[in-house]
Structure 1
Amino acid sequence: MKLTVITGSPHKKGTTALLADKFIEGAKEVGHEVVRFDAAFENVKPCLACEYCSIHDGECVHKDTMNELSKQLVETELIVFVTPLYYFGMSAQIKAVIDRFHASNAKIAGNKKAMLLAAAYGADDWTMEGLEKMYESMLRFLAWEDAGKIMATGCPVREVLEQTDYPQQAYEMGKNL
């Protein structure tokens, strides 16, 4: 299966980097083809809602690394979003990528699966509600199927996350696709 893992953290060794690493390790172990796109370290300009893409067959006015990712997403069967929780939602880095889906909605909608892996400082039972609603709305709009979530609450730093079973869950999720 062709997978694209999109991360949204600016911390190369942070909590969600560990979740992404473990997921990818499990997926590759069983033979899946994985492309990783670390949004915080790529040149991704924000969507301008200029509608250039609507009259240019999905081509964006921006000439940045999203052009390559957009092509990749057409072929991808499963998209995995990996983000820290920033003020009850996705990080700005991953949100910029998702906003840019606008240019290729027609090409990527339908017949795909998605997963969400997230980590948060907060541990309240409502901590991830906003993030989950945004994710579910995106899947509904794009007609994608949810294939699983890991919501690592109470994990403010990598050292805390390492003491939980969330990294193992991410590994197993990748391995059991």
Structure 2
Amino acid sequence: MKILVIKSSPHEHSSSNLLAGHFIRGAKEKGHDITEFDAAHGNLHPCIGCDACRMSGPCCQKDDMEGVREAVLTSDMMVFVTPLYYFGMSAQLKILIDRFYSFNGELMAKQMKTALIVAAWDSGEWTMKEIEGHYMTLCRYLRFSNQGMILGTGCGTPAMTSKTRFPQQAYEFGKRIGM
């Protein structure tokens, strides 16, 4: 299976990227073809709502989204990876998802498999409620087939994250994908 992993932490050595690395290792061991895109360090501009694309592209903006669109449409699965920022996804990931507008129809028809990996400093039972709800709403609207979530609480730094159960869960999740 072709899996596109979209990372979005501004910090290269972040807790969310650490969890993504474990997922990727497990998925590669299972034989999946992995492509990574770093939304935090890519050249992406916010959707300007001009509707020039009419939801079927191309977008009038010329940036990395052209390549992301190709990667999305040729993949079997997307994995969204984000730190938890004020109980939602990073702005960098939100910019990328907002730009799905330019190929909404194609994306909906594809019924893409997706997953979510989040790392949060907080460890309260309510910490992931809002991002989980947002992700599930995206799945419903875009007809994504949710394959699962790693919601890493108590993962404020990579050192903290390494001491939790979440790296192992991410690795095992990667190994289970496609079964």
- Given the two structures, how large is their TM-score scaled by the length of structure 2? 0.95
SS in 1 for 2:40: helix
Matches of 1:153 and 1:113, distance apart in 2: 24
Matches of 1:19 and 1:121, distance apart in 2: 14
Partner of 1:146 in structure 2? Answer: 146
Answer yes or no: is 1:22 the counterpart of 2:22.
yes
SS in 1 for 2:5: strand
Matches of 2:60 and 2:113, distance apart in 1: 28
Listed as ranges, the matches of 1:67-78 within 5 Å are 67-78=66-77
Shift of 1:91: 0.3
SS in 1 for 2:57: coil
Partner of 2:169 in structure 1? Answer: 169
Shift of 1:161: 0.4
Answer yes or no: is 1:63 the counterpart of 2:59.
no
Deviations 1:6-54 (A, max 9, x none): 1110111110110111111111112111110110110000001110111
Q: Which runs of 5+ in 1 are unaligned?
A: none
Greater shift in the superposed pair: 38-47 or 107-116: 107-116
How many residues were matched structurally? Answer: 176
- Residues 122 and 156 in structure 1, CA contact (< 8 A), matched pair in contact too: yes
Q: Where does structure 1 differ by over 4 angstroms across 4 or more consecutive aligned residues?
A: none
Answer yes or no: is 1:100 the counterpart of 2:81.
no
Matches of 2:47 and 2:111, distance apart in 1: 24
Deviations 1:41-99 (A, max 9, x none): 100000011101118x4101111011011011112111100100000100001110000
- Residues 57 and 102 in structure 2, CA contact (< 8 A), matched pair in contact too: yes
Answer yes or no: is 1:84 the counterpart of 2:83.
yes
- Given the two structures, how large is their TM-score scaled by the length of structure 1? 0.96
- Residues 111 and 142 in structure 2, CA contact (< 8 A), matched pair in contact too: no
CA RMSD of aligned residues (A): 1.0
Q: Which runs of 5+ in 2 are unaligned?
A: none
Matches of 2:163 and 2:142, distance apart in 1: 36
Shift of 1:172: 0.9
- Residues 3 and 33 in structure 1, CA contact (< 8 A), matched pair in contact too: yes
Deviations 1:113-141 (A, max 9, x none): 11000011111111111101110110000
- Residues 25 and 171 in structure 1, CA contact (< 8 A), matched pair in contact too: yes
